[in-house]
Structure 1
Amino acid sequence: MQFPESWLREFCNPPLSTKEIADVLTMGGLEVEDLRPVAPPFTRVVVGEIKEAAQHPNADRLRVCQVDVGQGALLNIVCGAPNARPGIRVPCALVGAELPPGEDGKPFQIKLGKLRGVESQGMLCSARELKLSEDHGGLLELAADAPVGKDVRDILALDDCVFTLKLTPNLAHALSVYGVARELSALTGAPLKQPKFEPVRPVHDGKLKVKVQAPDLCGRFSGRVVRNVDTQAKTPQWMVDRLARCGQRSVTALVDISNYVMFEFGRPSHIFDHDKIHGGLEVRWGRAGEQLKLLNGNTITVDEKVGVIADDREVESLAGIMGGDATAVSDETRNIYVEAAFWWPQAIQGRSRRFNFSTDAGHRFERGVDPSQTVEHIEHITRLVLEICGGEAGPMDDQVLSLPEARPVSLRVARATKVIGMPVSQEQCLDAFRRLGLPARATQDGIVTVTPPPYRFDLAIEEDLIEEVARIVGFERLPTTSPLAPITAKLPRESRRSPFALRRLLAALGYQETINFSFVEESWEKELAGNADPIRLLNPIASQMSVMRSSLIGSLLQVLRFNLDRKAERVRVFEVGRVFLRDVSVQTGESTVRGVRQPMRVAGLAYGEGDGLQWARKAPGVDFYDIKGDVEALLSPRRGVFRPATHPAMHPGRCASIEIDGGEAGFVGELHPRWRQSWDLPHAPVLFELDLDAVLARDLPSFQPVPRFQPAERDIAVIVADSVTHAALMESIHSADTGGLLRDALLFDVYKPKQATAGMAAGEKSLAVRLTLASPEATLTDDQIDAAVRAVVDRIGERLGGRLRS
């Protein structure tokens, strides 16, 4: 919300400076985000009237002007502006004047000089040279009645300041100059000038037939026909200036009047070309397939969830948001229909975002606009139209269907004292509500009941009233008290690592962290995650970022592609981020959304040489086992079980799932050749993705005494089928009943003959394992060792069909 200080002071003029008003508004909950002067400082710039403008004798594009600045004698000024002509009044910088700084930041001083041999006794200024706007097409033409010789700053009110407020959504009643003045009056106690809306006497009986078919869309609809309007009339300069200082450029007189009343009283309205309306108007919900060309030039398709205003032939306006092009006023317009309505906020909320634009009208209506003064504001608009554009007003047509019910809200004074943190009395509460213009009554038991006025849509519960009391009493008066609760450090569990420690570990392994968007291309989900039904975004920031990711792989591949495009030869990156999965068991909570599970994952990617360039060896590049080692280091001291698996993004036969404590924790593997080709990658990267909770969990170390007795080692070689994996072998060995003597098992040799031998058949291999056996109680005997080895061999035979190699 942006407005000039002078306009605010017309409604409420407290004896405070500009800075003090800004402080009062900010402390009252209306944060002043920016406060700036209308124009930068400059001096000795007065109103001058060009009496003569002759061609420069030595330059085609320059004119020699005789300018009257109220000093008796005319000034001789050389000017190159195309609109320099006799009879106009323009800003004239006298000799010695200081203009606003240029690009170098230094003030520009006007001196007596010569231009192409002709003396120039000053400078005629454009709006850009005075830093009033970016218009540099010619001199700034002032009003014809501007007093010659007067200071331009006084004539244009350039010592005014512009306030920019950063309002929260509950402050819809402050989205106007009058609304802010009403708040300022309550905060300072200064009197508020109440506007008067004198009815305009109708001079004809013309009415437009309007039928409201959707009371849940429009609760009140008011309108009036005005005939014989001069739409080419010029908007008064005072209105143009005020609109400009509200951040709104002047368009035409009728549009400017509508915008002016919206900024003044917060009432969006619309003016139709009455002669372009076919029959009457219908206020209803849209119908599937209906199209509307808006004033901004966009053509949209509406449906049953969007409100419209239609005539007998087609849709003419998007209800509460923007008018249509077909009935827009133009220079040929002679008869107009002025409309002001109350649109239910629920019927307007979110509709603009569906069409990827927003308007000042929609911004106000979706927060709530006073339904009680549609007629008064049309009277105000009509009077401005008659004063500026002329015309003949018709009778008022006002249809009231359903208005918001004023539901009283109660405030317990004791509760207000507890929440605010300082004693407040019932009298203070009543005084605060009186200053705010809120009807309130008190009871004997310390309860104050307030009936919200029609312009306050934000007063619904007790806390809303407590906030109003605190604002008026003054936040600066709240006492500073130390917290009563003891402050104790919340130590993390030792059985869980922090995400920061995880990031440091990955960085130590040579990975660099990357952060990516959580919304990705839909093709990534289908191809890399096998997700045919991803969670879609209603309003994506880009067409290629339309779904929520269920895997981090696509994000890492995009980072890899970005680095390869910049000639990177070795890439190791990781990301810790959230993924989004459909899960009907999830209910809406403080950090959850119904039907969506949002676990955290950690994923990594490695590409290129493992250690960079090496003079001593020529490495073929990173492979599956390099990254498997990184994952094991990441999980340490816990051990994951790697099992062959399939994954939509991984190379068949070069992918493994990872199990921790019997539960699946993620996968590691090489990218599928199909996706390597589609991503145009010279080599296949190796990736892993793990559940973050499984990675952060860790086993606590337990004390073990130093062994007093020397361990025993035995080597065995067993013959098993080729399909037996290392994991299966180790699982069988450690599950053997050795009486607790087995300490470790290490595979140190694999032998597979080129052809069948007497001891080994085709499709078999020999695995050599070193067993470490020990007891904390005594040195092992040969019988104990032999029994433990037999138990291991027997278990291998039971589970894997293996036998001891002779």
Structure 2
Amino acid sequence: MQFPESWLRQYCNPNLTTQQLADTLTMAGLEVEELDPVAPAFTGIVVGEIKEAVQHPDADRLRVCQVDVGAPELLSIVCGAPNARVGIKIPCATVGAELPPGPDGKPFKIKIGKLRGVPSYGMLCSAKELGIAEDTGGLLELPADAPLGQDIRAYLNLDDTLFTLKLTPNLAHCLSVYGIAREVSALTGAPLKAMDYPQVPVASQETLPVKIEAPDLCGRFSGRIVRNVNTQVKTPQWMVDRLARCGQRTVSPLVDISNYVMFELGRPSHIFDLDKIHGGLNVRWAHVGETLKLLNGNTVQFDDFIKVGVIADDQAVESLAGIMGGDATAVSDDTQHIYIEAAFWFPKAVAGRSRHFNFSTDAGHRFERGVDPEFTVEHIERITQLVLEICGTADTQVCAMDDHKPNMPAAKPVQLRVARAAKVIGMPVTQQQCLDALNGLGLPAVVAQEGVISVTAPTFRFDINLEEDLIEEVARMIGYDNLPTTKPLAPISPKLRAENKRSPYTVRHALAALGYQETINFSFVEEKWEAELAGNTNPIKLLNPIASQLSVMRSSLIGSLVQVLKFNVDRKASRVRVFELGRVFFKDASVVESDTTVKGFYQPMRVAGLAYGAASQQQWGVADTKVDFYDIKGDVEALLAPFTPVFETAEHPAMHPGRCARVVVNGKAIGFVGELHPKWRQSWDLAQAPVLFELELDAVLAREVPVFQAVSKHQAVERDVAVVVKESVTHAQVMAAVAAGVPSGILRNAVLFDVFRPKKLKAGEDAAPGSLAQDEKSLAVRLTLGSEEASLTDVQIDAAMQGAITALQTQLEARLRG
């Protein structure tokens, strides 16, 4: 919210300096983000009038002007501005004047000079040269009634300061100059000028038919017809200046009046060209497929994704309710008859609609935070008054006010316990202090019982709903700088984590130790990622995305990691290892509402990692190899230790069909590990396939509690067995068969240490006698055997080996390798 200090002081003028006023607002929660002078420092520039302008004898683009600055003699000044002509009043820098500092930071001093041989006793100035505008369109032309010789700073009120406030969403009542003046009055005790809304004489009882079809959209709708206005007049300079100092450019007289009242009173309004309205107006929700061309030139189409309120006539939609008017009924230089509208739109009916259409407006910004449902009629009277002053003619007719109230919000009383306020604020407060603070803010407070204050919030305070809201208002009036600094007094008891759980930070440190770097990404992703990388064709769509491409909630972390990889690879990174701990989102009707859950949505935590490029850092003693499935499989095993995960062949939408495995711990599938699918690698333009994993975080956080086990006193023995099995037999099946065949308590460990596959035969070539078939492979397993009771005998060792071989033969149809 930006506004000039002079406008604020017109309504409330406390005895404070500019800086003191800014500090007071900031300490009351209305943070003053910037204080900027309206114009930079300069001196010696006065109002002048060009009495004569003749062509320079030696320069086509220069004129020799005779300028009256209220002195006994005219000043001869050479000027090159294209609009330098007789009769206009302009800023004139006299000899000795200092203009605003240039790029070097030094002020420019005016001296007597010669331009092409003609002496010049001053300088005629543009708005840019005065530092009050960015572009220069020639000399700054002043109104004809500007007094000659008056200091231009005083005439244009350039000794003013622009306040820029950073307001929180609950301070919607401060989105106007008068609303801020109300706060200043409460904070300082300075009197607040009461607003006067004199009723304009009505010449006709004519009204425009209005139907409110959606009372949940619009609680109040007021309007008035004004006929025979002159829209070709120029907006008064005082209004142009105030709008400019609020950051609003001038458009046309009627639009400027509407904007001026919005900044003054906080109520957005709209002025229609009456002749362009077909029949009456209907306030309703938009129908799917309808379109509207807006004032900003955009054409929006309404769908069933989000309900949008509109104002329509008998033929088409004419305005986006509470946000922006339509181009079809916009006022123009040819407009003669107008319809002034001021309405109350429910905040929830406006919130998010601007972002849905990828733009924002001052009106939408205010309505989605809350605008006073009262005073629509009074504000139309204010607009009408300005229309008559600026655009009125002898034939102007003001018609009767039309006011509809289908669904006015009812304020509910909110109670404040003084003892509770003292506890939350952290300092003693009395009942009278609370009453004074609340009543000073215009919140009518009464004593419900001793120690309890009841407040029925006025209509301009949408944010007063809870006891904490009232406590905040009391604290603001006390002043945050006056609150004592006290240390919290509370019992401190450590929260011990169960031994079979580890923290997410431990997981982060473990992955960092494995060479991964953590990334933090948005939970919002592209819808294409969900379909391609997660196989989710029905993701959770956002009503109000922060960017058009980030339109859905992610159900997998893989897309975010691949995007990070792509970003780094595009910047010549050759080796990337990243991970993320984050939340994913699913639709689940079984989830109920609670403190930690949202009804209908399941939001588990996951951990995912990605490796790309070389398997290890470049080093002279190690050959360069690319990272592969088994490297990342080892990282997953290290992350899950001491659990021993089982890897089962599986498929995942994001992963290579033949190089993907499901991770199983204690019989439960907890995630996947594998290479990125070739088609996604190609679409992301990656030189090699990254290998990635994604696991449920809860399963990773779990761990086995260590159990003491004495070191065996008896020597273990190792035996090897080599068997031939079908190519389809997995490592897990081999290990399970070995464990099942060896008597209990004897097998300490089993390791697969060799795999042999036959060379593929060429067409017409026969296999050598006794060699492996093409669908077979040879596996060599080393068994470590031992007992806690005594050293194993040869008979026990042979029995254990025979049991393992028998189990392999029975369960897997294996045969001993000859």
Pairing 1:268–2:273 present: no
Query: In the alignment, which residue of structure 2 is the partner of 1:358?
Result: 360
CA distance in 2, matches of 1:423, 1:442: 18
2:202/2:398 contact within 8 Å kept = yes
Distance 1:657 1:758, change over 3 A: same
1:138 offset after TM fit, Å? 0.8
Counterpart of 1:689 (choices 694, 706, 709) is: 694
8 Å CA contact retained: 2:655, 2:674: yes
What do the CA deviations read for 1:443-479 (whole angstroms, capped 9, x no partner)?
4443322222222222223222222222223333333
Where in structure 2 are the equivalents of 1:125-524 lying within 5 Å? Answer: 125-302=125-302, 305-390=307-392, 391-487=396-492, 490=495, 495-524=500-529
Cα distance between partner residues in 2 of 1:160 and 1:522: 50
Deviation readout 1:110-144 (Å, 9 max, x if unpaired): 33333333333322221112211113111111222
Distance of aligned partners of 1:585 and 1:160 in 2 relative to their CA distance in 1, 3 Å threshold = same
The 1:115/1:461 distance shift into structure 2, 3 A limit, reads same
Code of the aligned partner of 2:328: A
Corresponding letter in the other structure for 1:552: L
Alpha-carbon spacing, 1:204–1:752, altered in 2? closer, same or farther (3 Å): closer
Aligned equivalent of 1:601, options 597, 600, 606: 606
Query: What's the TM-score, normalizing by structure 1?
Result: 0.91
Against the structure 1 CA distance between its residues 752 and 671, is the aligned structure 2 distance closer, same or farther, given a 3 Å change threshold? closer
Which residue of 1 is the match for residue 55 of structure 2?
Answer: 55
Cα deviation, residue 573, structure 1: 4.0
Give the structure 1 partner of residue 540 of structure 2: 535
After superposition, where does 1:663-742 map in structure 2 within 5 Å? Answer: 663-718=668-723, 720-736=725-741, 738-742=743-747
Q: C-alpha offsets along residues 292-325 of structure 1, whole Å, 9 cap, x if unaligned?
A: 3222222333479433333333333233222222
- CA, structure 1 residues 291+561, in 2 after alignment: closer, same or farther (shift >3 Å)? closer
Alignment-derived partner of residue 769 in structure 1: 781
| Contact persistence 2:647–2:663 (CA under 8 A) | yes
Alignment match, 1:113: 113
- Alignment deviations for residues 65-108 of structure 1 (CA, whole Å, 9 cap, x no partner): 22233343333322221111222222222333332233333333
C-alpha spacing 1:314/1:686, structure 2 compared with 1 (3 Å): closer
- Counterpart AA for 1:371: P
User: Distance in 2 between the 1:198 and 1:785 partners?
Assistant: 109
1:126 touches 1:135 (CA, 8 Å); kept in 2?
Answer: no
Shift of 1:374: 2.0
3-state SS of paired residue (1:258): helix
Name the counterpart of 2:645.
640
Equivalences for residues 654-669 of structure 1 within 5 A: 654-669=659-674
Q: CA deviation at 1:19?
A: 1.4
Aligned partner letter, 1:124: L
Q: Structure 1 counterpart of 2:345, which letter? A: W
Residue type at the aligned position of 2:369: R
Name the amino acid aligned to 2:347: P
Q: Which residue in the other structure is 2:589 paired with?
A: 584
**Alpha-carbon shift at residue 620 of structure 1 (Å):** 6.6
| TM-fit CA distance, 1:527 | 3.1
| Residues 616, 271 of structure 1: alpha-carbon distance in 2 compared, 3 angstrom cutoff | closer
| Unaligned residue ranges in structure 1 (runs of 5+) | none
Cα deviation code 1:504-559 (max 9, x no counterpart): 54455444544544444434333333223222333445554443333333344444
Decide which moves more: 364-373 or 76-85. Answer: 364-373
Instruction: Tell me the alpha carbon deviations over residues 183-232 of structure 1, each in whole angstroms, 9 at most, x when there is no partner.
Output: 11111111111112222222344433334444433333333222221211
**Structure 1 residues 613-624: aligned runs within 5 Å:** 621-624=626-629
> Is the contact made by 1:63 and 1:80 (CA closer than 8 Å) also made in structure 2?
yes
Q: Who is 1:45 aligned against?
A: 45
Change (3 A) 1:507 1:202: same
Distance 2:414 2:755 in 1: 82
Cα offset, 1:151, TM superposition: 1.7
Q: Offset of 1:408 from its aligned partner?
A: 2.4
Compare 635-644 and 508-517 and name the one that shifted more.
508-517
- In 2, Cα distance between equivalents of 1:482 and 1:678: 57
For the residue of structure 1 that corresponds to 2:344, the secondary structure is strand
Other-structure match for 1:88: 88
- Deviations along 1:231-290, whole A, 9 cap, x unmatched? 112222111111111111112222111111111112222222223333333333434433
TM-score by length of 2: 0.90
Q: Is the 8 A contact 1:386 1:392 kept in 2?
A: no
Cα 1:72–1:703 change in 2 (3 A) is: farther
Percent identity over paired residues: 69
Q: Distance in 1 between matches of 2:127 and 2:575?
A: 57
Counterparts of 1:537 and 1:279, CA distance in 2 = 37
Q: Alpha carbons of 1:86 and 1:752: their partners in 2 closer, same or farther (altered >3 Å)?
A: closer
- Cα distance in 2 between the residues matched to 1:235 and 1:4: 19
Change (3 A) 1:668 1:377: closer
CA contact (8 A) 1:756 1:762 kept: no
* Alignment partner, residue 764 of structure 2: none
Q: Which one is further off, 325-334 or 714-723?
A: 714-723
Q: 1:103 corresponds to which residue?
A: 103
CA distance in structure 1 between the partners assigned to 2:680 and 2:404 by the alignment: 64
| RMSD of aligned residue pairs (Cα, Å) | 3.2
Change (3 A) 1:110 1:618: same
Q: Which moved more, 1:235-244 or 1:586-595?
A: 586-595
Deviation at 1:12, TM superposition (A): 0.9
SS at match of 2:200: coil
Amino acid in the other structure paired with 2:283: V
The whole-number CA distance in structure 1 between the counterparts of 2:624 and 2:440 is 81
Q: Give the conservation status (yes or no) of the 8 Å contact 2:352–2:544.
A: no
Measure, in 1, the Cα distance between the counterparts of 2:29 and 2:705: 52
Deviates more, 1:152-161 or 1:626-635: 626-635
Q: For residue 379 of structure 2, what is the amino acid of its counterpart? A: H
Q: How many residues align?
A: 806
| Partner-residue secondary structure (3-state), 1:372 | coil
Displacement of 1:502 in angstroms is 4.2
SS in 2 for 1:263: helix
1:408 & 1:613 partners in 2: Cα distance? 71
Shift, 1:710, TM fit: 2.7
In structure 1, what residue type is equivalent to 2:171?
L
Q: Deviations over 1:612-656 (max 9, x none)?
A: 778888767443333323333333443221222222333333222
Distance change (3 Å), C-alpha of 1:590 and 1:258:
same
Query: 1-side partners of 2:625 and 2:426: how far apart?
Result: 70
Alignment check: 8 A CA contact 2:742 2:801 kept: no
Secondary structure class of the residue paired with 2:129: coil
2-side partners of 1:680 and 1:264: how far apart? 55
* 229-238 or 734-743, which deviates more: 734-743
Change (3 A) 1:452 1:604: closer
3-state SS, counterpart of residue 637 of structure 2:
helix
**Separation (CA, whole Å) in 2 of partners of 1:299 and 1:278:** 20
Amino acid across the alignment from 2:464: L
* Corresponding residue SS for 2:458: coil
SS at match of 2:375: helix
Inter-partner Cα distance in structure 2 for 1:194 and 1:339: 24
Q: Where in structure 2 are there 5+ consecutive unaligned residues?
A: 760-766
Aligned-partner Cα distance in 2 for 1:408–1:158: 46
Q: Return 556-565 or 147-156, whichever deviates more.
A: 556-565
- 2-side partners of 1:36 and 1:771: how far apart? 81
